[in-house]
Structure 1
């Protein structure tokens, strides 16, 4: 996951958390998070990159709508990232002493 941009990592996390992760649902979640509209020219090439890296699979919901799922490799990458992050964030919520 070290070779992903922050935006690609966010896309991967959103897809992992959505029940039916199709392009417009992913876009809506990212629009909310980034507090601005994410244009299609940014989202879809990044989705394709994640598919190309083997982190997502792309299927068809219907003839006009693609649906994305996180691959086993994608899940392993997310888990490895969370473990890496946790080593730095363990003490964030610890009470401070004065």
Structure 2
């Protein structure tokens, strides 16, 4: 997780939180959070990076729609990150 950008960590977190995460659903969530449009040229290469790092798996729902599922490793990395953040933030929040 330490080698991911903040945007990639956000992609991973959103993918884990959606019921059936596909590119446009992930994009819509991040558009709201970032309060600006996330362009496809930024979204999909970063999703591919997460696939290459075995944090998510890319599958097909149909010929036009890819589905991104967080792997066991990805969930473990998210949990480890949450624990790491908690040791610094729990006392102030």
Q: What band does the TM-score fall into relative to the shorter chain?
A: over 0.9
Q: Which runs of 5+ in 1 are unaligned?
A: 94-98
1: CA distance, partners of 2:90 / 2:49: 32
Deviation string, structure 1 residues 48-83 (Cα, Å, up to 9, x no partner)? 000000000000010000000000000010000000
For normalisation by structure 2, the TM-score amounts to 0.99
1:15-30 matches, cutoff 5 A: 15-30=15-30
State the superposition RMSD in angstroms: 0.5
State the SS of the aligned residue for 2:46. helix
1: CA distance, partners of 2:28 / 2:82: 24
For normalisation by structure 1, the TM-score amounts to 0.94
User: Greater Rg, structure 1 or structure 2?
Assistant: 1
Match of 1:7 in 2: 7
1: CA distance, partners of 2:92 / 2:13: 22
Hey, which bits of structure 1, 4+ residues long, moved more than 4 A? none
Q: How many residues end up aligned between the 2 structures?
A: 93
